[in-house]
Amino acid sequence: MTTATLPWTDDPFAEAMRTGRGPLWLRRPDGTRQVLEVDRWIGPVAGADHGLLLRCLDSGRPVLDIGCGPGRLVAELLALGVPALGVDVTRDAVARTLGIGGLALCRSVFERLPGEGRWGTALLADGNLGIGGDPDALLRRAALLLAPGGHLLVEVEPAPLDERLTVRVEGPGGRLGPPFAWARLGADATVRRAAPAGLTEIERWSSHGRSFLALRRDGPRSAARDRS
């Protein structure tokens, strides 16, 4: 019996995690493509990553990296003395995370996870707000993982987008993975969808061509400093 190919687990993305090489794209139904920045994900922390790390350090609380990929952020946080755990559905990505000194579980964010309701910070970087193609469900889940007053740091699209679509991962030579649901949101759409989950905007910033939000889970107020 032939087993169906699964997105992110036995498709061109998983192969890129094994080999450490791209290129990769997300291909839309109309044939247009969005580059997946494999080289940046597999490389060391750089550029806008430092802003995320700074905010995690300021918090001083354990960090959950949702969709950690090859683990550069988790490994760097641990090296800086911040307790951190990554979760990712791609076994090869988890193996790469472990190989560079990170900690990670091969698990979906929608499965049972350690420390539910006690994480001080959660990350949705590198487009991971698109996970599952249902940002409302993902934001509700992230809120449940956070402690009251905890922070969700989210990378958003620079443009004012709010779209759900079906995409496929495309690898070298035009190899395509199976279709799956994805989403792309800008800052305003993310804030609007986060509110029903009990997540409130406390900061937005841009760096090195990337855009981010900090959202706080409703609960005890925590201090936050604005940064440019």
3-state secondary structure at position 106: strand
Q: What was the pLDDT predicted at 4?
A: 57
Minimum mean pLDDT among 5-14, 23-32, 124-133: which range?
A: 5-14
Q: Is the pLDDT of residue 180 over 90?
A: yes
User: Can you tell me the mean pLDDT for 129-135?
Assistant: 96
Question: 10: which DSSP letter?
Answer: S
Which are the contacts of 189, defined by CB distance < 8 A and separation ≥ 6? 160, 161, 162
3-state secondary structure at position 226: coil
- Ramachandran assignment for 38, one of left (phi > 0), alpha (psi -120 to 50 degrees), beta (any other): alpha
Residue at 45: amino acid letter? V
pLDDT digits (tens, 9 = 90+) for 187-204: 999 999 999 999 999 999
pLDDT digits (tens, 9 = 90+) for 140-179: 999 999 999 999 999 999 999 999 999 999 999 899 999 9
Q: What was the pLDDT predicted at 219?
A: 74
Minimum mean pLDDT among 20-29, 46-55, 111-120: which range?
A: 20-29
Share of the chain above pLDDT 70, in %: 94
Share of the chain above pLDDT 90, in %: 86
Q: Is the pLDDT of residue 92 over 70?
A: yes
Confidence of residue 21 (pLDDT cuts 50, 70, 90): confident
Question: Which residue segments constitute the domains of the chain, with CATH numbers given?
Answer: 46-165+181-217 (3.40.50.150)
3-state secondary structure at position 105: strand
Neighbours of 226 (CB within 10 A): 9
Backbone angles phi, psi at 150, to 5 degrees: -70, 165
pLDDT digits (tens, 9 = 90+) for 39-59: 999 999 999 999 999 999 988
Confidence of residue 227 (pLDDT cuts 50, 70, 90): very low
**pTM for this predicted structure:** 0.91
Q: Is the pLDDT of residue 2 over 50?
A: no
Pair type for strands 63-66 and 119-124: parallel
Q: Is the pLDDT of residue 225 over 70?
A: no
Which of 205, 204, 208, 202 has the alpha carbon at shortest distance from 222? 202
Q: Is the pLDDT of residue 186 over 80?
A: yes
Cis peptide before 23 (omega within 30 of 0): yes
Question: 186: which DSSP letter?
Answer: B
Cα gap 92→85, rounded to integer Å: 16
Q: What was the pLDDT predicted at 3?
A: 47
Q: What was the pLDDT predicted at 133?
A: 95
Cα gap 48→219, rounded to integer Å: 28
- The helix-helix angle for 49-59 and 72-79 (nearest 10°) equals 40
**CA dist 133 to 138, 146, 179, 185, Å?**
9, 21, 12, 11
